Amino acid sequence: MLALAAEARSATPKFHGTSQAVPQAIAERMQRYSWRKGCPVPIADLAYLRLSHYGYDGAVHEGELVVHKDLATEALAVFKTLFAQRFPIEKMRLIDAYQGDDDRSMADNNTSGFNCRPVAGKPDVYSKHSYGRAIDVNPLTNPMLVSGKVFPPAGARHASRRRSAPGILRERDRAVSAFTRRGWTWGGDWVSMKDYQHFEK
């Protein structure tokens, strides 16, 4: 019995991922924070994911994401690949845990998907997040650089990409490739600005 228990503890953790229609309780919460009348997609076109990820502490955690239902299966495949790579993700909570405030979510290094909001600096243009077609990964470790500013500001120490850090995304990394080989665009490849946290499709 003791030998079996030891073997179970030493077994390689397995990825678990599920996709379903957004549950009613979560839809009601989203309508308070991340979704509102006039958003470019109805909640019925979104999917709620629960999935395994390694944390910055090296332990396995269960995260949650909302993405467009057309991308749900692919998003699970991406994060299964990241899990196999043991790529660390510090937090993965719905943006509603931050009352839909992207700045607060970024400052907390939270990986997130859907949020009905405009593009930064373009109040009349919906972000790809508003369609459930973008995911931001470890945004404090992988900040956005635009017009000489860093978002979130505390991410400035990671702006050069030379500093080693858990969960960092760099050009030609396997973690970046987990997205781009499936046709996602990475903000770290953009020319006019850099958005190292951002993937969209």
CA end-to-end span of the chain, whole Å? 49
For residue 47, which of 24, 28, 65 has the smallest C-alpha distance?
A: 65
Please give the pLDDT value at position 2. Answer: 46
Q: Are 53 and 93 spatial neighbours (Cβ–Cβ below 8 Å)?
A: no
Run of H or E residues at 29: helix 24-30
* DSSP state at residue 142: S
> Over 70: is that where the pLDDT of 60 sits?
yes
pLDDT band at residue 4, thresholds of 50, 70 and 90?
A: very low
Amino acid sitting at position 170: R
What value does the mean pLDDT take over residues 36-48? 96
Within 13 Å, how many C-alpha atoms sit on residue 19's CB side? Answer: 16
pLDDT at residue 5, rounded to an integer: 42
Tell which phi-psi region holds residue 60, choosing left (phi > 0), alpha (psi between -120 and 50) or beta.
Answer: beta
Domain boundaries, the chain: 16-200
Mean pLDDT of 70-76: 98
In the predicted model, what is the mean pLDDT of residues 178-184?
98
- Res 6 pLDDT > 70: no
Task: For residues 118 and 120, give the distance between their C-alpha atoms in angstroms, rounded to a whole number.
Answer: 6
Length of the chain: 201
